Amino acid sequence: MKKYIFLTPAFFLPFLISAQNKFTVSGYVSDYTSGERLIGATVYNSATGKGAVCNNYGFFSLSDKEGNSTLVFQFVGYKKKRVELNLTKDTLLNIRLERGIEIEEVEVKGFHIKQNNPELSTLNQPKITMQTIETAPVILGEHDVLKTLQFLPGIKQGAENTAGFNVRGGSADQNLILLDGVPVYNVNHMMGFFSVFNTDAIKNVNFIKGGIPARYGGKLSSILDISMKEGNLKESSGIFSISPMAARFTYEAPIKQDTAAFIVSLRRTFFDIPMVAFEKINGENGSFGYNFYDINIKTNWILNPKNRLYFSFYTGKDKQFATTKEKDSKTIYNYRWGNFTSVFRWNKVFTSKLFSNTSIYYSLYNHNELIKIEENNKLTLFKTSSDLQDIALKSDFDFYVSPQYTIRFGGKLSQLVFNPNIIQVKDAESDISFNDENKTRATQSEIYFENAFDLQKLKLNIGARLSGYSTGKTKYLNFQPRLSANLELSSKLNMSASYTKMAQNIHLLTNSSLGMPTDLWVASTDRVGPQEASQATFGLSRQIQKDYTISVEAYYKWMKDVVRFDEGAAFLDTKESSWDKNVLVGDGKAYGVEWMVQKNSGNLTGMLSYTLSWSERRFDGLNHGRWFPFKFDRRHDVSLLATYKFKKYYEKIRSLSIGFTLQSGNNISLPDFEYAGLLTPGREFNYYHDSWETVRQTYDHPNNFRMPAFHHLDIGYNIVKQKTDRKSITWTFSVYNVYNRMNPWYYQKDKNDKIKQVSLFPFFPSVGFTYRW
């Protein structure tokens, strides 16, 4: 009974807060020249300091007392705009901000209005801007969201220069990666060396790794929410970029001015062109090559001030091909993999305080391999395919009860279809299929409820998510409470804490950690249930002088029912197998402390961070059930990403950027000792035995060997020449691995049993060119 008495004030608090206000100003904040909605723009009453932040669709709602007031709208990189109002009724405002003086954080009456999720610390929700991504030094001239993220504390890259990342001791499949709200299941091109996200088409990146609000769910470790540009509502514009790796072209224009617009963005690599040309010139009887491409399309239509429709589409494919022709035979080899996502969204403003977004989306990831041999009119076919389809309907509501209290709630219903590793072998005599029994359907339903309080010094978000999952006769229900709080101890010192419980119903089966196309998404079954994780964080953040912020945060994460392949099992092998008989289910734990210094304004901006962390796993059927280090258990990690902007000179803006990473090496399983072994059954009859038969080379526990420290320094130099107000040319020069550090990518034994270290990325200069109009 006592606990209910204790909870009573909390129940009535929202209503007490809401009772003080009368009218509401609501609307959208957008870019003056393009009409692009500005996610995270802020609005505040200059007299009272009460404020609001625009949501993911640029919508804000601010309630205030009747009478005259001055509202100030602002956003990073834009000029402030003041609007005088005589508030006598609920008012709808559409505000356009002009690009101008950059401001980094809004200061109102001694406290800060943060852009998104003010209850989260800067380490739980590190800010990463498109400007940072576009100026960071890169390899092969391709800017990459996922690689830039890897400079943040608590985020470890997988293998060198791959887009896969591990957050706070979690595995790469535990990151929810959304493109316009749609999960993207494979984010890798070319074995993970490049991500599928074309930076020219991206408007905003929001990344959360702790205190994850209840509106997000489905993965254990982090949320990466990427929003595509919407399309220019005012006038046509475009971007053409070229790098040694690929060319990109983006075009956006109004369909009807101020009402509807579209954007199209294309990217394609050049890898196959010189190969095919060479083969043609040499008159080869066949061809081989590799390429990938991405296509992003988005349109939006403002029906009226209260209704807006969006349609987004993305597809990207990697393709390997090889054809050989001889007199009586022809062999065709094709291997393709890629994503297809599309989403239809409807933004609806029901009242000045109630905003909703309803989406219906479809996401597909598939890979197909085909080997076709035609010989003397006989056909032999070998075909494998895997796919994951996700169809969902979801609705999200933001109810702005008062400037101090916002309720967010919603739900999602999705149908998942898994067809992993379906194999067909066909010839004149037989037609055999394998793994048809692996086909699975699953239904997922989720609801959530968030209470966000902004009590001046205390920002609080209390919520929960309930997820139901059913496949066949198996059902799982997971209740996931979420709590995050940020307390302003003084005008410059903040303390934050959070607790998050997450559940993940789907699993990625991988044993390469490289983002291989053969990595398989599979559904939870009666044998392998959902993964679960709980994470607690505690942090402090202090502003030093005007520009610097120093933050520290500790975290502890428990993981339950994490999966990994059983020893030796892998879908890289073309063999029949039911996947859930080949995996081990176990526990994980990860803990650590992150430090970060950020400089957000001035000519020099950037961040320097250090992370001390541990991550371990335990499986009953492995290593005698004892804990062992996770592959990416990197004890130390120092990262620096900084940009210095030089003074504008003859319409040229130049900047120099530096990226530096120093980390403990990855853990690998490497045999480090040997002992006498027994022959396998029947081999004792033989008079001769190979050495491997009588010697066992092995290791004491998985991931027993830590590779040498991993570090490299990268430098980028950008020149932007502003030709007119609209037209600009950008040259990007980058040097990856300036001092030519040979970081080991993997080890292998040669024929003489000597161990060879293979390094992939030595000193590597590159140049990129961008033309905007």
Partner 1 sequence: MRYCKLLLPAFIFFTLFSCEKEVTLNLSHEPTLCLNCILNPDSMISASLSISKALNASGDFESVNNASVLLYEDGSLFGELQRTGNGNYRLNKKPSVSKNYKIVAQAPGYTSVTATTIVPRFPEVATTRDTTAEELNPQGIHSTYSYIVFDLNVQLFDKPGADNYWLYSSWIVNDRRYGGGCHPINAPFVDTFNRIIDSEEKYGFRHFLQIRIFDEGYDGETLAFTIPDFVKYSAEVNNELGYQYFLNADEHYDKYIKTTIMNRMKETSELPFYEPIQIYSNIENGYGIFGSCAITAVKL
Nearer to partner 1, 257 or 574 (CB): 574
Residues numbered 332-351 forming contacts with partner 1, rule: CB under 8 A: 333, 335
Burial of 447 (0-12, 13-18, 19+ CB in 10 A): middle
In terms of Cα–Cα distance, which of 46, 22, 111, 69 is closest to 455?
111
Q: Which is nearer to partner 1, 648 or 683 (CB)?
A: 683
> Of residues 437-456, which lie at the interface with partner 1 (CB under 8 A)?
none
Question: Which lies closer to partner 1 via its Cβ, residue 192 or residue 210?
Answer: 192
Distance of alpha carbon 17 from alpha carbon 522, whole angstroms? 46
Q: How do 222-228 and 202-208 pair as beta strands?
A: antiparallel
Which range binds partner 1 by CB under 8 A, 55-63, 75-83, 316-324, 611-619? 316-324
Q: Which of 705, 731, 733, 773 binds partner 1 (CB under 8 A)?
A: 705
Distance CA 417, CA 439 (A): 8
Q: DSSP string spanning 682-731?
A: TGGG-S---HHHHEEEE-SSTT-EEPPPEEEEEEEEEEEEE-SSS-EEEE
Of residues 240, 249, 270, 290, which one binds partner 1 by CB under 8 A?
Answer: 290
In eight-state DSSP terms, residue 569 is -
Positive or negative: CA dihedral 559, 563, 568, 573: negative
Alpha-carbon gap, residue 488 to 622, rounded angstroms: 47
Q: How far is the CB of 746 from partner 1 (least distance, A)?
A: 4
Q: Which residue, 9 or 568, has its beta carbon nearer to partner 1? A: 568
Candidates 448, 450, 452, 449; CA nearest to 405 is 452
Residue 483 is a binding residue for partner 1 (CB under 8 A): no
Q: Candidates 108, 322, 464, 729: give the one binding partner 1 (CB under 8 A).
A: 322
- Residue with token string 């139901």: 468
Position 462: which residue type?
A: I
Using DSSP's 3-state secondary structure scheme, residue 285 falls into coil
x/- contact string, 551-570, with partner 1 (CB under 8 A)? ----------------xxx-
- Binding-site member from 315, 474, 698, 722 for partner 1 (CB under 8 A): 698
- Two structure tokens written together for 620: 């009953």
Cβ at position 573, least distance to partner 1 in Å: 7
Regarding 98 and contact with partner 1 (CB under 8 A), the answer is no
Question: Which of 19, 281, 428, 755 touches partner 1 by CB under 8 A?
Answer: 755
For the CB of residue 427, give the shortest distance to partner 1 in the complex, in Å. 6
Return the sign of the alpha-carbon dihedral for residues 71, 75, 80, 81.
negative
Minimum distance, C-beta of residue 335 to partner 1, in the bound complex (Å): 6
Number of residues that bind partner 1 (CB under 8 A): 82
Asked if 761 interacts with partner 1 (CB under 8 A), we say yes
Contact, 728 vs 772, CB < 8 A? Answer: yes
**Torsional sign, CA 769, 712, 154, 640:** negative
Of residues 567 through 626, those in contact with partner 1 by CB under 8 A are 567-569, 572-577, 582, 622-623
Confirm or reject binding of residue 748 to partner 1 (CB under 8 A). Answer: yes
Q: Do 111 and 78 meet the contact criterion of CB atoms below 8 Å apart?
A: no
Q: Which stretch binds partner 1 (CB under 8 A): 24-32, 278-286, 391-399, 427-435?
A: 427-435
Biggest CA-to-CA distance, the chain = 101
The three-state secondary structure class of 396 is strand
Binding partner 1 by CB under 8 A: which of 649, 682, 691, 725? 682
Q: Least Å distance between CB 714 and partner 1?
A: 15
Q: Is 546 helix (H, G, I), strand (E, B) or coil?
A: coil
> Which residue lies nearer to partner 1 by CB, 96 or 426?
426
Q: Which residues 509-548 are close enough to bind partner 1 by CB under 8 A?
A: 511-512, 514, 516-518
The 201-240 contact track toward partner 1, x by CB under 8 A, reads: ----------------------------------------
| Residue 293 lies near partner 1 (rule: CB under 8 A) | no
- Give dist(CA 242, CA 208) in Å, integer: 31
Contact 537, 502 (CB under 8 A): no
Span of 252-260, 421-429, 446-454, 644-652 interacting with partner 1 by CB under 8 A: 421-429
- Can residue 745 be called a binding residue for partner 1 (CB under 8 A)? yes
